[in-house]
Amino acid sequence: MASWWKPAWTLAEETLRGMSEALQRKLRFVRQLRALLAVAIVGTYVAVVGAVVWPEQLRFFVALMGISLSAGLVYWHLFISTPLQARSIVRLIDQGYPGNVRELAIRAAARKLHEESIETEELLVETAWNEGKKAYRRFQERADKLRQDLDREEAADPPQTPKD
């Protein structure tokens, strides 16, 4: 019976490891692309400054082209940087498959413990409420019994009024 677990686990592990490595390659590519765009932005500004410092016939055209080019590059830099801001996802990808499993298992266990803690707290509140209702019922029963006893005593011994 246990013989089928090992191949199934090995297949799942190889698949997850392959997906993790593919995601790591894509993440490295996105980071390299972001760095390349940052260099292009700086290079564009250097070209604009060079065109302004050494006046040429087309310096305004080069400056305008540099600004428009850098604006587009800044846009793409921000666009590509946005997914990298999701630090928890990036951390999971960086850690690779075994780290992902540990991280996800820890998160699942913490979520389960949190849910069980809430359930336990709700049960404790419900138990305390039920115990309070029982104590109140017992108090009411004792109070009713005392009232009945007093009523019987008063019926048996009517109050005597002093005679003058």
pLDDT digits (tens, 9 = 90+) for 4-25: 777 877 887 888 888 888 888 8
Q: Which residues of the chain have pLDDT under 70?
A: 1-2, 56-61, 63-64, 68, 84-100, 102, 158-164
Cβ-Cβ contacts under 8 Å for 63 (sequence gap 6 or more):
48, 51, 52
Q: What is the pTM of this model?
A: 0.42
pLDDT of residue 148: 92
Domain ranges of the chain: 1-85, 97-156
